[in-house]
Amino acid sequence: MQHRTLRRIILGWVFLIIVVALIGKVSVAASNAGRTAADFLLIGVGARAAGMGGAYTAVSEGAPASYWNPAGLSGGEGGEVVLGHFSWFQDITLEHGTLAYQINDKTALAASVTFSQLRTD
């Protein structure tokens, strides 16, 4: 009985690996893969957020909070500038800059710019 179960599990895994390998080749070989209009929205801002895999909304503070959760802007002090350069797959680059200034305990101002470009060297 255990031998049959083990054999079914192994055959199931082999089948799953073959299916994933076949489907994976089709999606990678797509002619416009990664070149849709809003792919840059999948790129997070800031090293800490990238290190957390994008799970940063609840803990965001300071200037990067303008991207993740604007309520976190009130946790900063004074002024802060964040600049970022990201090289993504298929020669896509993203530039991001944020300027944040804490006015008082409950008020903050922030401005951010994001620029995405496809390099054609």
* Domain edges within the chain: 1-30, 35-118
Note the pLDDT tens digit of each residue in 6-21: 888 889 889 888 887 7
Residue numbers in the chain where pLDDT is lower than 70: 1, 24-41, 121
Q: Which residues pair with 117 in a beta bridge?
A: 93
The phi and psi torsions of 40 (rounded to 5 degrees) equal -65, -20
Other residues' Cβ atoms within 10 Å of the Cβ of residue 14: 10
3-state SS assignment for residue 87: strand
**Total-model pTM:** 0.57
